[in-house]
Chain A
């Protein structure tokens, strides 16, 4: 914890060299608090404070975002550092990012403590090279078995209707070990999309990542968007996923699948009444092998009907959802309402679901949440909320919440 604070203040020291004369400075903060009972019937009062700063000065930029957490009755505290990044552009065609940063240039999205260099050797090319230790707020920082991620990516940019990237990365589960394919994995892959300039404007996209250490295809996805009419948009996608079964790193996928998995999804958005009513059904199919005994299919369906009265500031979204897998099935219905009137806003959601699990757990749950907020100044917002959640197995759950947020020049 002390080391995190030290890193934060070091960053502020570096970035504060020019905040007063920075050509741009942005900041935001949000305080969230709630009063509720834990599952052990203990009163808890979590407070979350989110703070972010960003400053620019000639060839330098600095950005940081973090969260402070405190539960007063339990005397628990925590600190998350999401990013603490200094970007330096020594040349027009070169930029360097140093510090904690979000990297998503391959099939996964990671936060790393490290360095990323971006070179623009030509108008339509961007070369990224990065290396750092992956971080997760769920397991904390500076552990004995921290890993290492090193990668390179070459992307096609500023090209009409076309996007493409090839990438490779080397992942170490534990920094100190060299052990292919248990601890070390090497990935190579590419992704591509192209939008055809014809009627219906089809957009084709695909991504493939191969694990060279384990000699298996880790991810393959192919899909398309279609716009047959100005009121209709269609998407369909097919995916394949297979993880390295010999890798030391455990994932949720490896817990529930003993082999490769196949996915297919489709969705349509139809503007029933343009600018007022849409209908948006989505369906996903999955096939995976939870045990050696056989394969199992999964289904997910969601049908939403967003209704919008922009002149009144009123938005409603009723929806129905259905899930089925080898774990059971779920049916649910939900209504979200948001109303904005001058400086006030109100949000309400009602969610009702029934589930039947293979563990013979059959139950119904419902949840009613409401927020009312007021915009004091242009970027300063206050809100208060109440919740009532009920489930036949657990106690009734009543919560009171508040939120205060302030943005200074932030464009997110």
Chain B
């Protein structure tokens, strides 16, 4: 009986939340083709900027999504445009394909090849320093709370990973009993 009541309560709560949360629109649903055409014609921007694939005229999945970025997310835009990402990406900014798998471990190798590519979504270098340098003694950010008890196992599996953020003195101070609450 308790289980049935709990299940009913959860179902009602989920129903209320689904009514309260409005479904975010796809960026293409928000696109005003007629309005944009008037700008493109006056600036002689060709249709192929977005419709490089001839099939894209009938199938919007084949439209070049990055065509929008040529004005809305470009340091040298073809035409002046609103750079706010949330203007189109109501549901959140989609991540690039290479972010899907093991990105935190491999991003160092790829991001250093062309840092300006990362800046399209992460313009501030504080984004990098937030993980690599910023000290936070309150929240569970780079490491879980339990990591303190078993980090010796991981350090011996991959000591290079520790070096990407820490100096040896960080380890030595803690192990020598020089713990401070500001570490």
The interface of chain A, by Cβ under 8 A from chain B, is 32-34, 38-40, 44-46, 48, 50, 52, 54, 63, 65, 67, 69, 71, 74, 76-78, 80, 82-83, 85, 101-102, 104-109, 111, 126, 136-139, 155-157, 163-165, 191-193, 201, 203, 205-207, 221, 223, 225, 227, 233-235, 237, 241, 250-253, 255-257, 261, 263, 265, 267-269, 280, 282, 284, 286, 288, 290, 296, 298-300, 310-314, 323-330, 332, 334, 341-342, 349, 351-353, 355, 357, 363, 365-367, 369, 387, 389, 391, 393, 401, 403, 410-412
Chain B stretch 118-164: residues in CB contact (< 8 A) with chain A:
122-130, 132-140, 144-146, 149-150, 152-160, 162-164
Residues of the B chain whose Cβ atoms lie less than 8 Å from the Cβ of A250:
168
From the candidates A163, A201, A311, name the one contacting B113 in the complex (CB within 8 A). A163
B68 nearest CB across to chain A (Å): 17
The answer to whether residues A365 and B146 also contact, given A265-B105, A298-B157 and a CB cut-off of 8 A, is: yes
A334 to B136 alpha-carbon distance, docked (Å): 21
In angstroms, Cα B181 to Cα A71, docked, is: 7
Query: Would you give 25 A-B contacts (Cβ < 8 Å), ordered by A?
Result: A34-B138, A46-B138, A80-B133, A82-B133, A126-B116, A136-B167, A138-B170, A165-B114, A205-B106, A205-B110, A221-B109, A225-B98, A235-B106, A252-B163, A252-B166, A267-B101, A288-B159, A300-B158, A311-B21, A323-B150, A324-B153, A325-B154, A327-B155, A328-B152, A412-B123
- Chain B residues closer than 8 Å to A80, beta-carbon distance: 133-135
Contact B110 A267 (CB under 8 A): no
Residues A366 and B146 in contact, CB atoms below 8 Å apart: yes
**Given contacts A71-B181, A74-B181, A367-B146, is CB(A203)–CB(B98) below 8 Å?**
yes
Task: State whether B111 touches A104 (Cβ < 8 A).
Answer: yes
Please name 7 further chain A to chain B contacts, defined as beta carbons within 8 Å, in addition to the given A80-B135, A313-B17, A369-B140, sorted by A numbering: A65-B129, A138-B170, A252-B168, A261-B159, A351-B145, A389-B145, A412-B124
B101 and A324 form a contact (CB under 8 A): no
Q: B113 and A401: CB pair below 8 A?
A: no
Which single member of B101, B122, B130, B152 contacts A225 (CB below 8 Å)?
B101
- CB neighbours (8 Å) of B102 from chain A are 235, 237, 265, 267, 282
> Which of B97, B100, B108, B164 neighbours the largest number of chain A CB atoms within 10 Å of its CB?
B100
Contact B171 A252 (CB under 8 A): yes
How far apart are the CA atoms of A106 and B112 in the complex, in Å?
Answer: 7
Which listed residue, B108, B163, B169, touches A253 by the CB 8 Å rule?
B163
Complex formed: what's the CA distance from A286 to B154 in Å?
Answer: 11
A361 to chain B, nearest CB (A): 9
Q: Are B156's CB and A290's CB within 8 A?
A: yes
Q: Which 7 A-B pairs have the closest CB atoms?
A: A298-B157, A163-B113, A325-B157, A327-B156, A267-B102, A325-B156, A367-B145
B156: chain A residues within 8 A (beta carbon): 256, 290, 296, 298, 325-327
Q: Which residues of B contact A206 (CB under 8 A)?
A: 109
Q: Taking the nearest CB of chain B, how far is it from the CB of A320, in angstroms? A: 14
Question: Does B160 lie within 8 Å of A38, measured CB to CB?
Answer: no
A104→B115 contact, CB < 8 A:
yes
Complex Cα–Cα for A104 and B146 (A): 30
Q: Tell me which residues across on chain A come within 8 A of B97, comparing CB atoms.
A: 201, 225, 227, 233
Q: Report how far A201 CA is from B96 CA in the complex, Å.
A: 13
Residue of A nearest to B23 (CB): A311
* A-B contact number at CB 8 A: 276
For B128, the closest partner residue in chain A by CB is: A102
A33-B138 in contact given A38-B181, A102-B129, A227-B97 (Cβ < 8 Å): yes
List the B side residues contacting A40 at CB < 8 Å: 179
What residues of B have a CB within 8 angstroms of the CB of A136 in the complex? 167
Contact (Cβ within 8 A) A263 B152: no
**Interface pair B109/A205, CB less than 8 Å apart:** yes
Q: Which of A69, A332, A341 contacts B182 (CB 8 A)?
A: A69
With A65-B129, A71-B181 already in contact, the answer to whether A109 and B145 are too (CB < 8 A) is no
Chain B positions within 8 Å of A38 at CB level: 179, 181
